[in-house]
């Protein structure tokens, strides 16, 4: 089967999926129908917010459906008689009756080396765990959480300094390449699926806003990883008491590094701020200091710590909670 003859269904929602879709279209695999999550309001009284996939589909003039539950449109999917479905970060479990509808099934692009990091937040967990390598997997979708058999995988090494957006873009580029390699092999019967080793599986959770709140009892290395992992959302934040107003305010840490303590610590209350060398802020953690390089205070613009301290030297000595 040639790509020009294939009738493709695409399912996806966030920026990662939109980048996957864009790469597919550029490679000649343009879907005839796209399914994405329903629009959401960006805030009270604000306009409905379309998903990145929805916006790209509109630009490419591809019909898009936005059901709250995919079962609402199962008759439409069946009627279309798709050859292949491709799914990337859609956000819903697809029931078996729909998985069986395309003649060549559903191919799923997952940004981890399955069976490691199954679930909703594999890129985030890769950073938090300090993994030395990661990769992308093309698998056949089944009705369980990332348990389908694997068609193809590729690895990349990590430096341990990647932020979420940087790693996400690396993995969508890698994943798109192997997806485009895999499609013709799969539909023409030139590649076989291999069952995952389910005994080696690990699982990730859905990230919530409260996950971004820093626990200063944690070691500095873990907090630094969280700052990078949560850099898009929910961001790593802490609370402090403003010395002028006495009100509790939010501080978001945008960039940081670790300063190891030479002796057994901590030396003061966890969360206490000190002046570090080179006009930076050191925060006492459960183990070692976290050096803040860039931050954003509530209702303020993001700033480098040096510029921040020029007008907020009294911040030193504050205890973050």
Last residue of a domain, one of 153, 178, 204: 204
Its pTM stands at: 0.93
Last residue of a domain, one of 204, 220, 244: 204
Q: Among residues 248, 238, 274, 243, which one has the least CA distance to residue 259?
A: 274
CATH code of residue 311: 3.10.25.10
Burial profile 276-289: b = 16 or more Cβ within 10 angstroms, e = fewer: beeebbbbbbbbbb
pLDDT at 262: 75
* Whether residues 141 and 179 fall in one domain: yes
Please check whether residue 320 lies inside any domain of the structure: no
* Whether residues 17 and 142 fall in one domain: yes
Number of Cβ within a 10 Å radius of residue 95:
13
Structural domain tally of the chain? 2
- Tens digit of each residue's pLDDT (9 = 90 or more) over 256-290: 999 998 776 667 899 999 998 888 899 999 999 99
Residue segments in the chain with a per-residue pLDDT below the cut of 50: none
* Whether residues 140 and 278 fall in one domain: no
* Whether residues 66 and 39 fall in one domain: yes
- Tens digit of each residue's pLDDT (9 = 90 or more) over 54-110: 999 999 999 999 999 999 999 999 999 999 999 999 988 899 999 999 999 999 999
Q: Is 107 exposed, middle or buried (0-12, 13-18, 19+ CB in 10 A)?
A: buried
Provide φ and ψ at 100, rounded to 5°: -80, -10
* Whether residues 7 and 145 fall in one domain: yes
pLDDT at 91: 85
* Whether residues 233 and 136 fall in one domain: no
Round to whole Å and give the CA distance between 190 and 192: 7
* Whether residues 151 and 243 fall in one domain: no
Crossing angle between the packed helical segments 164-187 and 15-26, to the nearest 10 degrees: 40
* 107 neighbors 87 (Cβ within 8 angstroms): yes
* Whether residues 165 and 21 fall in one domain: yes
Domain range spanning residue 87? 3-204
């Amino acid at each position: 089967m040639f790509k020009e003859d294939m009738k493709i269904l695409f399912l996806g929602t966030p920026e990662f999926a939109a980048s996957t879709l864009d790469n597919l279209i550029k490679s000649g695999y343009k879907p005839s129908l796209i399914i994405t999550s329903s629009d959401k309001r960006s805030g009270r009284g604000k306009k409905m917010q379309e998903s990145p996939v929805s916006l790209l589909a509109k630009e490419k003039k591809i019909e898009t459906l936005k059901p709250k539950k995919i079962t609402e449109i199962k008759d439409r999917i069946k009627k279309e008689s798709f050859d292949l479905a491709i799914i990337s970060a859609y956000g819903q479990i697809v029931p078996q009756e729909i998985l069986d509808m395309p003649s060549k099934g559903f191919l799923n692009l997952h940004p981890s080396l399955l069976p490691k990091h199954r679930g909703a937040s594999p890129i985030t967990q890769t950073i938090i765990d300090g993994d030395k390598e990661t990769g992308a997997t093309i698998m056949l979708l089944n009705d369980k959480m990332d348990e389908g058999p694997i068609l193809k995988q590729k690895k990349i090494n990590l430096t341990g300094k990647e932020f979420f957006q940087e790693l996400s873009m690396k993995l969508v580029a890698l994943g798109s390449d192997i997806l485009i390699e895999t499609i013709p092999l799969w539909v023409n019967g030139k590649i076989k699926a291999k069952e995952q080793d389910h005994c080696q599986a690990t699982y990730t959770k859905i990230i919530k806003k409260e996950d971004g709140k820093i626990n200063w009892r944690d070691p500095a290395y873990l907090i630094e990883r969280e700052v990078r992992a949560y850099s898009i959302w929910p961001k790593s934040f802490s609370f402090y008491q403003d010395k002028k107003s006495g009100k509790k305010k939010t501080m978001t840490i945008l960039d940081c590094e670790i300063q190891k303590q030479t002796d057994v610590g901590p030396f003061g209350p966890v969360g206490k701020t000190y002046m570090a060398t080179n006009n930076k802020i050191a925060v006492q953690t459960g183990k070692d200091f976290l050096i803040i390089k860039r931050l954003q205070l509530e209702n303020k613009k993001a700033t480098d710590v040096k510029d921040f301290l020029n007008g907020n030297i009294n911040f030193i000595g504050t205890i973050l909670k």
